[in-house]
Structure formats: C-alpha cells, structure tokens
Amino acid sequence: MRIGITYNLKSDLPISSSVSVPEDAAEEFDHPETIEAIQEVLSKEGHEVHLLGGDLRVVEKIKEFGIEFVFNIAEGFQGRNREAHIPALLELLGIPYSGSDPLGLALTLDKALAKRIALSLWILTPKFWVLDELRSLCEIPDQFPFFVKPLWEGSSKGIRFSSRVENREQLEKEVKRLFDNYTRVPVLVEEYIPGRELTVAVIGNEPPEIFGIMELEFKNQKNKDFCYSLEVKRSWQDTVAYQFPAAISREAAQILERHALDLFKTFRLRDMARFDFRMNPDGKFYFLEVNPLPGLSPDSGDFVILAKKKGVSYSVLISRIFQTALGRYPSLFQANKQV
Ligand SMILES: Nc1ncnc2c1ncn2[C@@H]1O[C@H](COP(=O)(O)OP(=O)(O)OP(=O)(O)O)[C@@H](O)[C@H]1O
Ligand SMILES: [Mg+2]
C-alpha cells in the first residue's frame, strides 16, 4: 500500500522576526527521528511510505504519490482546531487516515470542553475557571492552591513549577505570564489536586481496550506530589520514575479503566488515546485531560514508555496502531491482508 505520514517537525515552526514566540513553541512537534522510525516500521511491512509534512502541500503530495492511507501525527500550527486541520483535509479528500477525527481532536484539545463532557459522565475533574482576560481574575475565589495552564496546549507548553500557585500574588503573576507568552489562548485555572498521577493508555475500536495504566513519580522524591511541568518533561530521564503497572488496587484500576473507556467512546475517539488523571489522598480520581494524538517518539513519550514497560516494542506498537486504524476501513484491510 502507498502510505503517507503527516507530521510537523520542530524545525517547521514558522519563524517571524516581528513576532516573539515562547521558548516552548515547538514543544509538541516531532524530531525527524520519530518520522523515520515510523517510516521504517511501515516500510518493513512491505509498504511504500512517503513523508508528506503537515502543510497545504500535503494535498499535492497525496496526488503525486497516489497515497492510499495516511498515518497522521501532525499537531498543527495554531489555534484549538490545529490538531484537526490535517484530518479535516484528509476527510475532504476522502483519504483514510489513522487516529481520531477532527471533532474528537478539537474537542479534547480544549481542556474545559473536555472537562464538561467528563462531568456529564459523572467523572470528577478539578473545579475550574476559564479566563479570557486579566480582569476576570476577580472571579476566582480564595481557595488556594490552584494550578494554572493554557486552555489548549499540550506537551506541558506553558506549564512550569510555578503553575501551582499558593496565593493571589502568585496567581496573578502566573496568569499574566501565560497571557503575555501564549497570545490568544485563554487561561485555565484549576483546583490543585494533590496526590498521585496516573496515565491510562487505550488502543482499539469496537471495542477500545485498556492498554495499560502507568503511574508517574519523581525519581528521587517519592513523597513529593508529582508535577509534569516542562522542566520535568525535558529532563524525564533523570527526574521521572515510571511505574508499570501502576501499584493501585484492582478496584481502583477498574474505576480508572471505566472512566477512560467511557470518555474514549463519548468523544468517539479512534485507534488510540492517553488519559491523564490525578488520584487524591482519599483515592478519588480526577480527570485532567486526554491526548488522542499522544507523542510517538521512539524513545520518549508516555505511551511509548508504557508500551516498552509492558514488553511491547516500538515496532509492534506502531504496527498495532496502523492495523487498528486500517481495521476501520474494511476494503483496505482486506486488500492489505492479501499482499
Ligand atoms: N489541576 C491539577 N492539579 C494538580 N496537578 C496538575 C493539575 N493540572 C495539571 N497538573 C500537572 O501538570 C501536568 C500537565 O498538565 P496537562 O496534562 O493538563 O498538560 P499537557 O501539556 O496537556 O500534557 P500532555 O503532555 O500530556 O499533553 C499534569 O501531568 C500534572 O502533573
Ligand atoms: Mg497531560
């Protein structure tokens, strides 16, 4: 089969001397090694694999190479629909692709909308306020600590150790920092949830299946609340201990699994997703956010780390995601089987 890979490279970030961008502007984008690793897995399975990038030239390249299927990991450049741009284009062109559809990707990128859906399913999520301007700070009650983050970013963009705020002065400073650096992105102020951090990986369709639950802790400070800030994500090899499977009771795991699957089905996500939760000291789970486009770097990224700890190699993981996506297109699936 002729497969295209869509993606954004860190080096693709549009550079304009007139606009200053935050130092983590390219954080969600991929290194060439990730694209090459995915290309290698698919090529070894006998496919002809083309690298399409993640801008409008994708359309010409699809025609030029006669692309039949797209493996999509493009994060998009801007706005809360950015992850949906390439899938929407592919839908318009009628090209089958891996991963969730535009609505699923856009809806989940807006963390407040995703939280409202979670609440409708009776899944707890931190109390929250969305600020469109600094003036709205007066709406926030004196219930510290809070956690402050951009409403629609990922890969810990905008999240630092200072995101946890203990008083009004810190809150104002943090909200201002986000407005100054991430223009046109509203700010989400959340109740801070103390306790443990767990991530749940899901793979599959009809039915989606729990791939695993992993706990994240600080390597050398096990008693300290974990915080996956940018500082920590960038130094994960030295700072993070990944516990797989997470040491939680079977009963707790069942609750978490049910939450993840309910959310996956309600958002109508496809093929894979990773759900982030906090578990407070009373053992209650709070939904933080969902990543339908989890990072697939061969050596970092929680989904890949979880897979490796489970004994699933990178090539088996990529192949499984690909086969899962292909399974949604029965005619392609049959044709591929005959190859
Ligand atoms: N309300 C909260 N209470 C406590 N900690 C929080 C809260 N919200 C976020 N965090 C911490 O900040 C981290 C990053 O937050 P979040 O998952 O929302 O950001 P992200 O950038 O979308 O992450 P990802 O890299 O998974 O896309 C969480 O993993 C958690 O450690
Ligand atoms: Mg997260």
What residue segments make up the domains of the chain, in order of their start? 2-98+327-338, 127-191, 194-312
**Ligand 1 pocket member 155 (CB < 6 A):** yes
Mean pLDDT of 89-107: 97
**Is the pLDDT confidence value at 338 over 70?**
no
Q: Is the pLDDT of residue 339 over 70?
A: no
Ligand with smallest separation from the Cα of 216: 1
Residue 209, pLDDT > 70, answer yes
pLDDT of 28 strictly over 80: yes
Ligand with minimal distance to 301 CA: 1
Task: Kindly give the number of the ligand 1 atom that is closest to the alpha carbon of 302.
Answer: 26
pLDDT at 222 (0 to 100) = 78
Report the percent of the chain where pLDDT is more than 90.
Answer: 86
Could you tell which of 228, 280, 303, 305 is best to mutate to test the pocket of ligand 1, judged by most ligand atoms within 8 Å of the CB? 228
In CATH, what class is 2-98+327-338?
alpha beta
Ligand 1 pocket residue status of 153, Cβ below 6 Å: yes
Nearest CA to ligand 1 atom 22: 154
Whether the CB of 275 sits within 6 Å of ligand 1: no
Which atom of ligand 1 is the closest one to the Cα of 190?
1
Rounded to an integer, what is the distance from CA 336 to the centroid of its chain?
29
Helix pair 111-120, 102-109: axis angle to 10 deg? 100
Residue closest by Cα to atom 1 of ligand 1:
192
| pLDDT > 70? residue 51 | yes
Probe residue for ligand 1, chosen from 197, 276, 285, 303 as the CB with the greatest number of ligand atoms within 8 Å = 276
The structure tokens listed for 321 are 């995601």
Task: Kindly identify the ligand whose nearest atom is closest to the C-alpha of 149.
Answer: 1
CATH 3.30.470.20 correct for 194-312: yes
Is the pLDDT reported for residue 255 higher than 70? yes
Regarding the domain delimited by 127-191, which CATH topology (the fold level of the hierarchy) does it fall under?
A: Dna Ligase; domain 1 (3.30.1490)
The whole-number average pLDDT for the span 1-11 is 95
Ligand 2 center to 335 CA (angstroms) = 37
* pLDDT greater than 70 at residue 330: yes
Out of 113, 156, 218, mutate this one to test ligand 1's pocket (max ligand atoms within 8 Å of CB): namely 156
- pLDDT at residue 16 tops 90: no
Question: Would the pLDDT of 17 be above 80?
Answer: no
Give the pLDDT band (50/70/90) at residue 156.
Answer: confident
127-191 and 194-312 agree in CATH topology: no
CB neighbour class for 33 (10 Å; exposed up to 12, middle 13-18, buried from 19): exposed
Q: Are 275 and 259 in contact (CB under 8 A)?
A: yes
SS3 82: helix
Proportion of the chain in helix, strand, coil states, percent, rounded to 5? 40, 20, 40
pLDDT exceeds cutoff 80 at 335: no
156 C-alpha to ligand 1 centroid (Å): 7
- What are the C-alpha distances in Å from 163 to residues 14, 68, 312? 27, 44, 34
Closest residue CA from atom 2 of ligand 1:
192
Question: What's the rounded Cα separation, in Å, for the pair 138 and 175?
Answer: 12
Two structure tokens written together for 332: 């392609």
* Digit-coded pLDDT (tens) for 79-89: 999 999 999 99
| Average pLDDT in the chain | 94
pTM for this prediction: 0.95
pLDDT tens digits, one per residue of 286-298: 999 999 999 999 9
Distance 29 CA to ligand 2 centre (A): 15
Summarize the confidence of residues 254-281 as an average pLDDT. 98
Residue 1 has pLDDT above 60, yes or no: yes
- In the reported structure, the alpha carbon of residue 336 is separated from the centroid of ligand 1 by a whole-number distance in angstroms of 39
211 contacts 203 by C-beta, under 8 angstroms: yes
pLDDT in tens, 168-199: 999 999 999 999 999 889 999 999 999 999 99
